[in-house]
């Protein structure tokens, strides 16, 4: 009879240890979810931070948003459309970055080697979905130029496969696409720093 009591006590202790480990794991997962939620909330509310580099250049800094695949599809329709357009499987996507770049130039350019017969000012204007150029020509050219471009950078992987099993990383790519057809991307370099 004592043997059964000891077995019962041992089983109860093992059950309590297992239950305690499960609860500890759940608590750690809940804390991690809470920290991720707080970080995402901070990123969405704060936007971009401006900092000055050592040489005085203005630099914008932000944190990354952490989303599940379903959240990414639900809240980022434009990026999801670009991913599908580039034939990237969303489950292979590691990160998606979008950068909006505005260019504004206001300049007055003197005209040389020109004879102006009458003092009449001429103005011009050009506008499309991405670029706006306007100006006035007199004895000099007053020019206003505004251009907008959106850059999309997608980091995705090709996992190793055997039958229907997927593991590890076979290859990885960074695809970059700009939306302004007037601009061309001259270079794109990714450097991974190993520790």
DSSP for residue 167: E
Q: What 3-state class would DSSP assign to 50?
A: strand
- pLDDT tens across the length of the chain (195 residues): 788 888 888 999 999 999 999 999 999 998 888 888 887 777 777 767 777 777 878 887 777 888 888 888 888 888 888 889 988 888 888 888 888 888 999 988 887 766 666 667 788 899 998 999 999 888 788 999 999 998 999 998 888 888 878 777 888 888 899 888 888 888 888 887 888
Total-model pTM: 0.69
CA distance 181 to 122: 29
Sign, CA dihedral 191-154-64-181, equals positive
Domain boundaries, the chain: 1-63, 67-195
Q: Residue with structure tokens 């229907």?
A: 164
Sign of CA dihedral 32, 76, 178, 157: positive
């Amino acid at each position: 009879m004592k043997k059964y009591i000891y077995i019962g006590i041992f089983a109860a202790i093992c059950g309590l240890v297992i239950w305690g480990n499960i609860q500890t794991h759940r608590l750690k997962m809940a804390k991690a979810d809470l920290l991720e939620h707080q970080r995402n909330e901070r990123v969405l509310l704060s936007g971009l931070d401006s900092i000055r580099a050592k040489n005085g250049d203005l630099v914008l800094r932000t944190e990354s948003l952490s989303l599940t695949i379903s959240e990414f599809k639900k809240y980022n329709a434009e990026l999801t459309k670009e991913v599908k357009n580039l034939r990237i499987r969303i489950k292979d996507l590691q990160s998606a970055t979008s950068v909006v770049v505005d260019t504004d130039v206001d300049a007055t350019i003197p005209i040389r080697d020109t004879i102006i017969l009458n003092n009449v000012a001429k103005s011009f204007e050009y506008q499309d979905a991405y670029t706006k150029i306007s100006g006035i020509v007199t004895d000099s050219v007053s020019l206003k130029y505004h251009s907008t471009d959106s850059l999309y950078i997608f980091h995705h992987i090709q996992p190793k496969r055997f039958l229907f099993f997927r593991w590890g990383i076979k290859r990885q790519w960074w695809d970059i696409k700009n939306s302004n057809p007037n601009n061309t991307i001259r270079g794109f370099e990714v450097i991974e720093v190993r520790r």
